[in-house]
Amino acid sequence: MSMSALMSTLRAAGRKHLSAGTLCTKTLTGSYLFRIEQYKRLQNMVANGTFIKSGTFSVGGHDWRIHCYPNGENGNEGSISLYLKHDSHDKTGDATADFHMSILDHAGRPLCTDGKIQSSNVTDGQTQGNAQNFPSDAYLTVRWEDFVNVQVQYLDEEEYLKDGCLSILCDVTVLDTRTTDYRAGCVVPPSDLHQQLTEVLWESKEGVDVEIEVGGETFPAHRWMLAARSPVFKAELLQSSAALSSRIRVDNMDAGVFKALIHFIYTDTLPKEMMERQETLATTMAKPLLLAADRYKLERLKLICEDILCGHIDVKSVGATLAFADQHSCRMLKEACMEFLADPANLEAAVSTRGFEKL
């Protein structure tokens, strides 16, 4: 029974002064990748009981940090202790959250997830299921003592410490509860204009008025949509001789790259299948798609491709990637390469590779 029906029934039963509210509950999930360079050297140099901390990341309206003890917390020397710290309690108040931490191999696969979860320094901490209440100065900790004593010491460097880096993934789920007072009247649903435009224009292709030939394939499109999103398409489709043609051709571009490009023009996102295969995207598609974005002045798409490439810099690729970034004015990618090479060990290893000859 709806709230309005319940209210009507209760009022009819004689409850004239009746008010009501609804507790709405939802979960908000976010992830943070904490990458620690030269991990083994750091573990040997840092004393037991000393921690390093990640940058701040936001999930569910709260700020969080990872505190990592490379050589274990007090009394747990030789292990790794990981804490999730609620970093915005003064501003956002208590939070209820669940989290999982994983050590990733070079392909992004988790070596270990969860571990032993326990509370530490939590005042009146209350656990329901897997969710932990975070009052002031609260931590949740994952201690992988026996696991890491054995595994980190003999960790396959090629698999889990590639280029000397340890990658830790933290997934945080925050429980968000809010009470809304009942008011008689209609409920206005949230806007779904973006979804409607995607369905009508991209998926159904209703009203297309131009066809684009690329690499032997044909892509139907809306002239006004292309012109609105790209100044290059605008000049070509509305302000040149092509404005009178219902068919144009794009040279020097792979059909698969153009398919991703036009998908982004309509939806402002990359195709789902590409995002699910980040490793493949980075090695085969990110560079040509960045060039296509640069060609058609799609700055947001160019930055997305830069960001993907920034996450896949290694000793073998850094030389070629740095040359590519410099050639195509990719500031963020260039800075990421320079930061990678600032490590003397990475620089020494990279100089001997064939890709470094391009610099």
At 262-313, the pLDDT tens digits run 999 998 888 887 777 766 666 788 999 999 999 999 999 999 999 989 988 8
The count of other CB atoms within 10 Å of the CB of residue 312 is 15
Of 8-17, 150-159, 297-306, the one with minimum mean pLDDT is 150-159
List, for residues 24-54, the tens digit of each pLDDT value.
Answer: 888 999 999 999 888 888 888 888 888 889 9
Residues 236, 232: Cα–Cα separation, whole Å: 6
List, for residues 75-86, the tens digit of each pLDDT value.
Answer: 767 677 788 888
Find all residues with CB under 8 Å of 208, minimum gap 6, and list them.
220, 221, 222
Residue 166 has pLDDT above 80, yes or no: yes
243 vs 25, residue with greater confidence: 25
Residues 271, 189: Cα–Cα separation, whole Å: 27
Angle separating helix axes 344-351 and 331-341, nearest 10 degrees: 100
